[in-house]
Amino acid sequence: MDSDAGTDSGISPAKGLRRVRKGRSFFIPSSKRRNLSNYKYSGVDKSLMSRYVLSPYWNGLVKLFPLGMAPNAITLLGLTIVGLNVITMLIFLPALSCSEKPLHKALGGSWDPLFTSGRNHTLYQNSIGWAQSKLGVILPLKHTQEMTCPGRWIYFSWAIGLWMYQSLDAIDGKQARRTGTSGPLGEMFDHGCDAINTTLETLLTAAAMNLGQSWWCVVIQIGTIGNFYLSTWEEYHTGTLFLSAFSGPIEGILIIIVLYIITGFKGPTFWDQGILTTIGIRDSGIVNALHIKDLPLNECFIIFGAIGCGFNIISSYGNVTKARRAKNLSVVTPALGLLPFVFQAACNVVWLHNAQSIKANGHLVAFSLYYCLAFAYQVGILITAHTTAQSFPWFNILQVVSFVGALDAYLGTQGNAWAFQTTERKALVAVYIALVLSFAAYAFFVYDVVGEICDYFDINCLTIKHKDANGIPTNAPQETKLKAMKKKGLRKAQ
């Protein structure tokens, strides 16, 4: 999510570039096509960290990129770096845990009511053995318990990758301003990458905190993308993207980066120790008198996130209520717009609960990737509706996939003859079918929407199409052109 987009995304492509021929988009009807010209980004960023600390860094960083580089290419570069982090996770930590303790049984005495430990650790041992024999790059950490963890470098690399993603995500809007290429495509592209990154980072966070393929991993994913959906829903109804004084794209990401760094120094099992033990008051008189539970640090982190999510719900609904009342519109109807997210999340939870083999066989990551693409598809349709002034999207095809998967898994536990997921193998097949369907649906969405917008404005997605004889974008501000000409040693801008 571009924290600087409020100042960089208000410039639209030149009117002369707008195409008038009838569109053939599935997601942008021809009657709504011209609304792309009317769209203007509005954003509010109250983050002190962004304003006083990070903005000077971002302003300097964007100048390192040539004017000929498209803003969307910068965004995609950031997501690619995160993708490399995920690949290292799949190779070295496929079980999202490196501890021999049952998942998730922390030293503070936790519980995981719906998932059992299964063969999760065996899967990890087999995978790590393969990686060691093929690559020979793992440096085991030393801990009090007997276990095999990847080298500390992996967690530091995740911290660097997320920092680079945040930096590139923040300057794509600035690059759009420099090159005069701001518009609705940039916001939709940025939101799409953010939606995918949000889910991928939940998997990396679960691995860094030694949560394993447990319900805690599911809770983190739903809570995190729930916040993202809430923000997009709020922008649809208010017309403005609000970033509070403590927001996920700024402070939230910085916290995760620090978490990765701590894991790099302490190891993932550090997060299993109780918070009272960590601060040295576990055996104090007041703790014993009040019978305070020594909750593990990773569970405390989840509780902290849940509290933050609660505040975001209150804040977002307050902003929507204020905007609706200003227009004398109902303040109840927008709340129903949260139901599509709640419905799909509930279906996925029911699916997992009734198909235990998904987790037991170490395939929760595949299910999470399905949910990742399904969520990106869901918010992609929502932001498309916002930028083209369409009605609220209550339904999408991947909701049906989640519902059918959940219903079939439940019927399979009841021995219903019509159910497909009656065996562990079939349950896993169902997950991978869902993953393929979500990839196909999201790929078609991207192809359709990006193609339509590029055709309408006569632009390219990942390159700048219109440049003068000196390679400078024709829509760039005059001041930028003069600076570029001076840098090239030319006398005047063309």
Residue 353 preceded by cis peptide, ω within 30: no
The answer, yes or no, to whether residue 103 has pLDDT greater than 50, is no
Mean pLDDT of the region 440-449:
96
- Residue 235 belongs to a domain: yes
User: Tens digits of per-residue pLDDT, 152-210?
Assistant: 899 999 999 999 999 999 999 999 999 988 889 999 999 999 999 999 999 999 999 98
Q: How far is CA 466 from CA 20, 69, 218, 456, 459, in A?
A: 18, 12, 45, 14, 8
Task: Assess contact for 396 and 377: CB atoms under 8 A.
Answer: yes
Residue with more model confidence, 358 or 68: 68
Mean pLDDT of the region 422-440:
93
The answer, yes or no, to whether residue 410 has pLDDT greater than 50, is yes
Confidence at residue 1, expressed as pLDDT on a 0 to 100 scale:
55
Identify the CA nearest to 426 among candidates 357, 333, 344.
357
- Residue 193 belongs to a domain: yes
CA pair distance 359, 367, nearest whole angstrom: 9
- Residue 378 belongs to a domain: no
- Residue 444 belongs to a domain: no
CA pair distance 482, 456, nearest whole angstrom: 29
Residue with more model confidence, 440 or 482: 440
Confidence at residue 119, expressed as pLDDT on a 0 to 100 scale:
42
What range does the domain containing 479 cover?
464-494
Mean pLDDT of the region 461-482:
80
Strands (DSSP E) contained in 220-356 are 241-243
Mean pLDDT of the region 80-109:
74
CA pair distance 266, 297, nearest whole angstrom: 13
Residue 377 tokens, joined:
């598809």
Residue with more model confidence, 148 or 305: 305
Confidence at residue 281, expressed as pLDDT on a 0 to 100 scale:
75
Confidence at residue 304, expressed as pLDDT on a 0 to 100 scale:
86
The answer, yes or no, to whether residue 457 has pLDDT greater than 50, is yes
Confidence at residue 191, expressed as pLDDT on a 0 to 100 scale:
93
Mean pLDDT of the region 215-242:
91
- Residue 309 belongs to a domain: yes
CA pair distance 227, 222, nearest whole angstrom: 9
At 392, is the pLDDT very low, low, confident or very high (cuts 50, 70, 90)? Answer: very high
The residue out of 274, 306, 332 marking a domain boundary is 332
The residue out of 332, 367, 390 marking a domain boundary is 332
The answer, yes or no, to whether residue 123 has pLDDT greater than 70, is no
First vs last C-alpha separation in the chain: 35
The residue out of 298, 332, 366 marking a domain boundary is 332
At 126, is the pLDDT very low, low, confident or very high (cuts 50, 70, 90)? Answer: very low
CA pair distance 298, 38, nearest whole angstrom: 46
- Residue 426 belongs to a domain: no
Confidence at residue 264, expressed as pLDDT on a 0 to 100 scale:
94
The answer, yes or no, to whether residue 453 has pLDDT greater than 50, is yes
CA pair distance 125, 109, nearest whole angstrom: 25
The answer, yes or no, to whether residue 287 has pLDDT greater than 80, is no
SS3 108: coil
CA pair distance 149, 267, nearest whole angstrom: 8
Sequence-distant (≥ 6) Cβ neighbours of residue 264 within 8 angstroms? 152, 153, 155, 156, 159
Cα 80 to chain centroid distance, Å, stands at 13
Confidence at residue 226, expressed as pLDDT on a 0 to 100 scale:
92
At 221, is the pLDDT very low, low, confident or very high (cuts 50, 70, 90)? Answer: very high
**Quick one: three-class SS letters along 332-379?**
CHHHHCCHHHHHHHHHHHHHHHHCCHHHHCCCHHHHHHHHHHHHHHHH
CA pair distance 147, 130, nearest whole angstrom: 16
CA pair distance 415, 429, nearest whole angstrom: 18
- Residue 453 belongs to a domain: no
Sequence-distant (≥ 6) Cβ neighbours of residue 228 within 8 angstroms? 1, 194, 195, 198, 248, 375, 379
Q: What are phi and psi of 242, to 5 degrees?
A: -100, 125
The total of structural domains in the chain comes to 2
Q: How far is CA 272 from CA 157, 221, 392, in A?
A: 22, 19, 43
DSSP sequence for 199-256:
HHHHHHHHHHTT--SSHHHHHHHHHHHHHHHHHHHHHHHHSSEEE-SS-IIIIIHHHH
CA pair distance 105, 112, nearest whole angstrom: 8
CA pair distance 474, 400, nearest whole angstrom: 45
Task: Give percent of the chain above pLDDT 90.
Answer: 47
- Residue 341 belongs to a domain: no
CA pair distance 425, 31, nearest whole angstrom: 47
Confidence at residue 110, expressed as pLDDT on a 0 to 100 scale:
47
